[in-house]
Chains A and B, each alone.
Chain A
C-alpha cells in the first residue's frame, strides 16, 4: 500500500487535530472553565483516523463515551465542537449535548453516547438503512460503524447487536478499541475471553480482523480490506485494535490503577503520532519540516477554536425549552 503525499498529510493532520484538541482540553479543564464530564481520546487517534479516512458522509458512525476523536475524524467542525464543549448556544448541539453527546448527521456522525454499550444496536439500525438504500453507483454498499471500547464489549447490547447484524446481514462494522481499561478496571480482569474481544464476534459468525491500533498504517490497511469485504455485501464484520489511552477514564481521574511508569512508557513507545512521523520520514515520504509546518498550523487552529468558544454567546433560560416537542 502506498498513500499519496496528500493522503499522508491529511491523515497526519487529522490525528494531530485530535491530539491537540485533547491536550488543550486537558489543560483548559484544570482552569474550571469547562463544565461537566470529559473523557479524552488522546492516544487512540490512529484508530479514528485510520477508520474514518475511508468513509464518505453516506457512511455512518456511532461513537462512544470517548467521542471527540471519532467526531473530528468523521468531519465535525472543530470550532463548533469546541463551542459545544464550552456549552455555547452556538455549539454543534446548541449547548444541549456537551462533550458526551455530540452528533452531526450531515457528516454521518450519529452521536457520541453517555451510555456505555448503547451504540452498537444503533449502528445496526443505520446499517440496515444503508442496506435498504442499496449499493452506490459503483455497486458498493454504504456501511455503518459501531465504535466500542473493551468496556462496552461486555454489555449485552453489544452481543444483541452482533447477533442481529449477522441475522439481517447488515453492512455493519464493529470496531473494538481495546485500550485495556474499562473505566478503572483492567481488561485482564473484565473481559472473560482470554483478553480477546474479536473472538466473540467470530462466535457470532463474523469474519474478524485484529491489528495494532497505535499503527496508523496497520489500521488503515486492515480497514481497507475489511471495508472491501463488507461493501461487497458479505454482511457484518468486526475488528479489534489494540490501543492506548493517554489520560484517565474522565478528566480528573487520578489513575491510581496505572502501573509505575506506565503512562511515560506508552507515551514513549506506543504513541501513534510519533510512530507515524518515524515511519513517513524514515521512508522519505514526508520530511520533518512538512510535519512541523502542519503541527504549527494545527496549533493555530486549536488556539482559534478555543478563543472562538470562549467568546461565543452563552445560552439563556429560554433555550432550555427549545428543540423538544412540547412547548411549555
Chain B
C-alpha cells in the first residue's frame, strides 16, 4: 500500500498501463503542455497534473497533445479505438461535453451496438467535473446524469485514490467505452492505494459506512459529506448505510435495494441538477422495486434547478452540504 493523492493515482495508473500495453495512447488538450512554446514540451503536463511525465516516457506518438478541438479529440479517440488501440482521451472540463457530444454520444457510445457487436470501441474519456472552486456555470458542472442516460457508455465516478487506481485500470482494459469522471475538488485528497494489479470491477458499489437505520447513496466529493454525517449520527445511535456507487452505469441496484430492505429509508445525494437525474432515478428504482420496505418517502438531496452560481456564498448555498444531508436523514427518522 502506498499513500498518494487522487491525481497521482490517475497518472501512475495511466503510466503503468501504458508500460504494460503498447496500444494505450493518451490524447487531449495540454496533456503535454508547452508544445510550440519557448518553455517547450512538458512545461505543463496537463492542467490537472494528471499526465505529468508521460510524454518524456512514451513519446509523441503515444502522448498526443492536441489543439483546442474537443470534437476532433473525441473523434480521434473513436478512430483509434476502432482501429485497435486503447485511447485515453482527456476532455479537461466535463462542461465541454457539449462541444464534442456527437462524437461521444452518437459515435463512441453506439458503434458496438450499431455495428451488430462486431466492432468494439475501447476508449476511456477522462474529464474533471464538479463544483467547489467558484468556477461558475461553465466550469463546475456534474454531467454524469447526461452521460448515464446514454446507452452504450459506462460511467465511472471514483471518490478515493484507491478507487481511482482500481477503476481506471479496469476502464483502460475494458472493451467498451468508459466515461471516467474525476472530481476536481478531490484531486489533492490523499489515501492508501493497493500496489500492483489493483482492479475494481464496474457495477459494484462500496459500503463506505455500515448502518441499519438510513441508506445514503452518493458519489464523488459528496461522499465525504455523507461519511461525516454518518459519523456524527453514529454518536446518537443512528446507523447510516453509506453507499458509494463508484459507477452509475452499470448501476449496482442490488446494493441499493439490499440496504433499503434493511433500513426502509433512503437519501440520495447528488451534485447534478434535480430534474431527470441520478437522484430521481434511484428514488424511482427503490419506489418500484422496494416499495414494501419503505418506512418513509425517498429523499433526494440535490442542488436547485439553476445553473451554478459564481460567488462563494451562492455556490455554498447551491451545493448539497453535510447540514442538508443530516436534515434529510432526520426528516426520514421523524416521518409519521
Any B CB within 8 A of the CB of A213: no
> Is B82 a contact partner of A111 (Cβ separation < 8 A)?
yes
> Is A121 a contact partner of B71 (Cβ separation < 8 A)?
yes
> Is A94 a contact partner of B116 (Cβ separation < 8 A)?
yes
Any B CB within 8 A of the CB of A135: no
Of A153-161, A224-232, A288-296, which binds chain B? A153-161
- Partner of B113 from the list A128, A132, A324 (CB cut-off 8 Å) is A324
- CB closest residue in chain A, given B152: A324
Any A CB within 8 A of the CB of B160: no
Q: Which residues of A contact B67 (CB under 8 A)?
A: 160, 163-164, 167
- Partner of A132 from the list B62, B74, B78 (CB cut-off 8 Å) is B62
Residues 52-85 (chain B) with a chain A CB within 8 angstroms: 61-62, 64, 66-67, 69, 71-85
0/1 interface trace, chain B 175-204, chain A, CB 8 Å (1 if under): 010000000000000000000000000000
> Is B115 a contact partner of A97 (Cβ separation < 8 A)?
yes
Any B CB within 8 A of the CB of A305: no
Any A CB within 8 A of the CB of B25: yes
- Partner of B82 from the list A101, A110, A156 (CB cut-off 8 Å) is A110
Any A CB within 8 A of the CB of B40: no
Any A CB within 8 A of the CB of B7: no
Q: Which residues of A contact B274 (CB under 8 A)?
A: none
Any A CB within 8 A of the CB of B250: yes
Residues of A in contact, count (CB < 8 Å): 47
In whole angstroms, how far apart are the Cα atoms of A124 and B82 in the complex? 12
> Is B115 a contact partner of A122 (Cβ separation < 8 A)?
no
Any B CB within 8 A of the CB of A75: no
Residues 92-142 (chain A) with a chain B CB within 8 angstroms: 92-97, 101-105, 110-111, 113-115, 118, 120-132
Q: Which residues of A contact B106 (CB under 8 A)?
A: 114-115, 118
Given A125-B81, A132-B62, A160-B69, A120-B250 contact (CB < 8 Å): no
> Is B116 a contact partner of A128 (Cβ separation < 8 A)?
no
Q: Which residues of A contact B69 (CB under 8 A)?
A: 160, 163-164
Report which residue of A93, A104, A127 has the largest number of chain B beta carbons within 10 angstroms of its beta carbon: A93
> Is A160 a contact partner of B118 (Cβ separation < 8 A)?
no
In whole angstroms, how far apart are the Cα atoms of A91 and B115 in the complex? 10
In whole angstroms, how far apart are the Cα atoms of A160 and B72 in the complex? 6
Chain B: minimal CB distance from A327 (Å) = 9
Q: Which residues of B contact A60 (CB under 8 A)?
A: 79, 82-83
Any B CB within 8 A of the CB of A223: no
> Is A126 a contact partner of B79 (Cβ separation < 8 A)?
yes
- CB closest residue in chain B, given A129: B83
- Partner of B64 from the list A156, A161, A168, A325 (CB cut-off 8 Å) is A168
Any A CB within 8 A of the CB of B327: no
> Is A118 a contact partner of B114 (Cβ separation < 8 A)?
no
Chain A: minimal CB distance from B334 (Å) = 37
In whole angstroms, how far apart are the Cα atoms of A226 and B106 in the complex? 31
Any A CB within 8 A of the CB of B103: yes
> Is B75 a contact partner of A92 (Cβ separation < 8 A)?
no
In whole angstroms, how far apart are the Cα atoms of A156 and B67 in the complex? 14
In whole angstroms, how far apart are the Cα atoms of A96 and B112 in the complex? 10
Any B CB within 8 A of the CB of A323: yes
Any B CB within 8 A of the CB of A78: no
Chain B: minimal CB distance from A135 (Å) = 13
- Partner of B103 from the list A96, A121, A167, A325 (CB cut-off 8 Å) is A121
In whole angstroms, how far apart are the Cα atoms of A141 and B293 in the complex? 63
- CB closest residue in chain A, given B117: A323
Any A CB within 8 A of the CB of B151: yes
> Is B82 a contact partner of A97 (Cβ separation < 8 A)?
no
> Is A120 a contact partner of B114 (Cβ separation < 8 A)?
no
Given A118-B102, A126-B79, A131-B61 contact (CB < 8 Å): yes
| Sampled A-B contacts (12; CB under 8 Å) | A94-B116, A97-B114, A111-B82, A122-B107, A125-B77, A126-B80, A127-B79, A128-B64, A129-B85, A132-B61, A132-B85, A164-B69
Name B's A-contacting residues (CB within 8 A).
25, 61-62, 64, 66-67, 69, 71-85, 87, 102-103, 106-107, 110-119, 151-152, 154, 176, 249-250
Nearest first, the 10 A-B pairs at minimum CB distance are A125-B79, A121-B75, A323-B117, A94-B116, A125-B76, A129-B83, A93-B116, A160-B72, A160-B69, A126-B79
